[in-house]
Structure 1
């Protein structure tokens, strides 16, 4: 503050400062109050927005035929119906397998096959792993006495994860219903996002470009990466359930994780095929093997059809998003994580590339 100002001149300046402080405080209070209400639904809302952006082109095609509200309702009902049955089947099987493992571990009835011969040949850790595995396979009470604290921690984590699967399943299905509502107001939501980004960036040219870039990234990752992984894992999982594998839910989830991070599904399917060929009747085992091999290679056909062109998101970003999202938000985070991190990465790249001087309109040299 200028010390040369008189008292009468300082008063308006102090009032303006108080007004600004009051406005900032009220805005901060409003943001805090709203965040407390929205925070419990953050995961559902994020996945709903991703689904809405992903399904909006389909909505635009249907609007001309059935109207805005009927199109959104139809998309929501069909999406819930298509996802509910396989999701309930996989999650129920996964939860049952985890709870059965925890129960067998707690009452010392867990049976473990002997360690494979090649495990001892691994450098540094092979001998130790073989001894530990052999102890667990031959003397479970002694193994629990020796590794009880570590195993109890693992069992508690698995039980908690299994308990959260039901909530994650409900949230996942509810997201499709919320996405249908967002789709119905797609034009208004797009305009809001454009105005918000214009205000944040201070550039009218940047707003529409960032909205388009964000939508393209969401569709590219959600459809081309997550969508392909979901379809492939459901095809492979259908074979697991049809052949009657007790751990079909866990194996389907592992295939989904591998597919999202672009690891070949054959790393999971080949050992399963070998197990089925060794334990199941010849004809069903051969049919299962052919189906699983075809489903495992289906991503080679699906990716060219569904992967967004020009999508430049490094695979480590997708991998971190999958693992971090699952650790943070469970089942829902498995899908939200990679998409959200990919959007953040693309927007960060655009922000680093953006030069406000280059985008500033040039002055007319002919003006006096």
Structure 2
């Protein structure tokens, strides 16, 4: 018993030491593994023509090139808008119109909202003195989020490099996962089934949900930047969040289109409308191209994954959170369906 306790203690100390080293990079490594699983089928198609290492290198460089440009523009615009908003509050340079008349008659909170709105519109310093404690927390979080955007952008670049290395050792990684699950489950067939199920879930959610939302948000962002919308960066991020949560993008684009028709001449506004319609319908083409079949994951799982991932790890967590929760959910269902011996 003493020998067993010593062995278990040594293993526990070793695991704790390794966890302390890996923990700061856990989200980055997780996203790199997700990328590797999603891109591995493409790697298998390129291997006969390019070779194993050359194919992995090409995928990594292409991923960095495709992500770096749009991410730099998006992150820079978003950070600039957030810092501009915070600076405006701090310098008391925010102006607001008087509240609409119908707001005072709204049930329960109408009078209180009218009072706050009127005070902000007429005397911002007094409003900040009276209600500043209510917005200090969200403003601090936004400032921290904006400051972490550059780190998130760098993480995306590094994750593609790590994913390329994982892709090059894809067979070894798959075999390692299979052997680990075989020791846990006690069955080789069961372990292989779980590996295949995990890979299918990652590709289904990662490509069919996150991938489609990323492509659509970037296309919408192109339209926002071209038409000259000042808050193009934040609107692109909102489009990405709505797309991952499977919320119709028309809820975001319709008010923007109306604003563009109000503020721009007719021809650019019409072209902007056509562009938004094309992008909004593009998921009907993108989903069949990216995945052959999808796995049904409840919407609350995706929603919690997006919001929780964003709170925990910022920009990178938006992508990791829903995929990680979806895999956990599918594996939990698979375990519950098994009958104990």
TM-score tier, shorter chain, comes to over 0.9
Are 2:280 and 1:314 aligned? no
Are 2:237 and 1:258 aligned? no
Contact 2:205 2:294 in 1 (8 A): no
The Cα shift of 1:37 comes to: 1.1
Q: How far apart, in 2, do the equivalents of 1:279 and 1:72 lie?
A: 47
Contact 1:219 1:308 in 2 (8 A): no
Q: How far apart, in 1, do the equivalents of 2:200 and 2:338 lie?
A: 18
Are 2:313 and 1:329 aligned? yes
Contact 1:224 1:308 in 2 (8 A): no
The Cα shift of 1:127 comes to: 3.7
Deviations 1:104-153 (A, max 9, x none): 00010012344456655644334433332333233212211221112222
Are 2:126 and 1:142 aligned? yes
The Cα shift of 1:308 comes to: 5.2
Q: Residue 163 of structure 2 corresponds to which residue in structure 1?
A: 179
Are 2:189 and 1:205 aligned? yes
Q: How far apart, in 2, do the equivalents of 1:48 and 1:319 lie?
A: 21
Q: How far apart, in 2, do the equivalents of 1:66 and 1:111 lie?
A: 59
Q: Residue 246 of structure 1 corresponds to which residue in structure 2?
A: 230
Contact 2:178 2:192 in 1 (8 A): yes
Contact 2:208 2:294 in 1 (8 A): no
Q: For 2:247, what is the secondary structure of its paired residue?
A: coil
Q: How far apart, in 2, do the equivalents of 1:299 and 1:115 lie?
A: 39
Contact 1:225 1:307 in 2 (8 A): no
The Cα shift of 1:36 comes to: 1.2
Are 2:79 and 1:95 aligned? yes
TM-score of the pair, normalised by structure 2: 0.96
Q: How far apart, in 2, do the equivalents of 1:190 and 1:24 lie?
A: 28
Q: Residue 188 of structure 1 corresponds to which residue in structure 2?
A: 172
Uncovered stretches (5+) of structure 1, i.e. residues with no partner: 1-16, 358-368
Q: How far apart, in 2, do the equivalents of 1:250 and 1:119 lie?
A: 27
Larger radius of gyration: 1
Contact 2:305 2:323 in 1 (8 A): yes
TM-aligned CA distance change 1:100 to 1:82, over 3 Å? same
Q: How far apart, in 2, do the equivalents of 1:18 and 1:81 lie?
A: 56
Deviations 1:175-210 (A, max 9, x none): 011000000000000000000011111222210000
The Cα shift of 1:244 comes to: 1.2
Q: For 2:229, what is the secondary structure of its paired residue?
A: coil
TM-aligned CA distance change 1:347 to 1:320, over 3 Å? same
Q: Quick check: 334-343 or 103-112, which moved more?
A: 103-112
TM-score of the pair, normalised by structure 1: 0.89
Q: Residue 92 of structure 2 corresponds to which residue in structure 1?
A: 108
TM-aligned CA distance change 1:311 to 1:211, over 3 Å? same
Contact 1:324 1:337 in 2 (8 A): yes
Uncovered stretches (5+) of structure 2, i.e. residues with no partner: none
The Cα shift of 1:294 comes to: 1.9
Q: How far apart, in 1, do the equivalents of 2:82 and 2:221 lie?
A: 17
Q: For 2:45, what is the secondary structure of its paired residue?
A: helix
Deviations 1:88-115 (A, max 9, x none): 1111100000000000000100123444
Q: Note the 1:80-91 alignment, pairs <5 A.
A: 80-91=64-75
Aligned pairs, number: 341
Q: Residue 289 of structure 1 corresponds to which residue in structure 2?
A: 273
